[in-house]
């Protein structure tokens, strides 16, 4: 039986974020893209409209950078247990952007994209099976 209540996303969790385990004990607080994210994207795209619409590699690069900047500002809210070269990296939007812009971290960005579109992550009462499924996706 289909029940809309089973599909409902908790707006507070979606806006404030949910702690998600990743690899080697790291955890990331991830929000769901929503109005704030969309508004920020629109604002950034307008600021660089001419370059983005130029059809040049530079324009394409700027569009990708803007998407990652909006992620750093609106989606990736915090982290724990993140290190670089053995030194713990405290969370900041600048540090988040640096990781998102690093082409070597493509797999992390792909995982982040998957988490943000998974409504089960942001449900008020996720059952244990859903939580286990999401955790196992962090390892794959």
HEC secondary structure over the chain: CCCHHHCCCCHHHHHHCEEEECCCCCEEEECCCCHHHHHHHHHHHHHCHHHHCCCCHHHHHHHHHHHHHHHHHHCEEEEECCEECCEECCCCHHHHHHHHHCHHHHHHHHHHHHHHHCHHHHCCCCCHHHHHHHHHHHHC
User: Would residue 69 count as lying in a domain?
Assistant: yes
State the total domains in the chain.
1
pTM of the entire structure? 0.79
Predicted confidence (pLDDT) per residue in 66-95, tens digit: 999 999 999 999 999 999 999 999 999 999
Q: Specify the pLDDT at position 21.
A: 95
Neighbour tally for 54: CB within 10 Å: 13
User: Would residue 21 count as lying in a domain?
Assistant: no
User: Would residue 16 count as lying in a domain?
Assistant: no
User: Would residue 27 count as lying in a domain?
Assistant: no
Domain membership of residue 41 as a residue range = 32-130
**Mean pLDDT across the stretch 101-124?**
91
Residue 129 has pLDDT above 50, yes or no: no
User: Would residue 14 count as lying in a domain?
Assistant: no
User: Would residue 23 count as lying in a domain?
Assistant: no
As a whole number of angstroms, the distance between CA 48 and CA 60 comes to 11
Closest CA to 91 of 79, 100, 102, 101: 79
What share of the chain has pLDDT > 70, as a percent? 89
């Amino acid at each position: 039986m289909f029940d809309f209540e089973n599909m409902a996303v908790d707006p507070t969790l979606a806006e404030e974020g949910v702690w998600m385990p990743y690899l080697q004990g790291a955890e990331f607080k991830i929000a769901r893209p929503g109005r704030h994210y969309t508004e920020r994207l629109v604002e950034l795209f307008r600021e660089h409209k001419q370059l983005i619409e130029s059809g040049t590699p530079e324009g394409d690069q700027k569009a990708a950078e803007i998407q990652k900047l909006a992620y750093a500002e609106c989606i990736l809210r915090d982290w724990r247990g993140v290190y670089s070269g053995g030194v713990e990296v405290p969370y900041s939007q600048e540090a988040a952007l640096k990781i998102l812009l690093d082409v070597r971290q493509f797999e992390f960005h792909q995982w982040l994209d998957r988490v943000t579109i998974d409504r089960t992550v942001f449900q008020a009462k996720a059952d244990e099976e859903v939580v286990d499924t999401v955790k196992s996706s962090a390892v794959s």
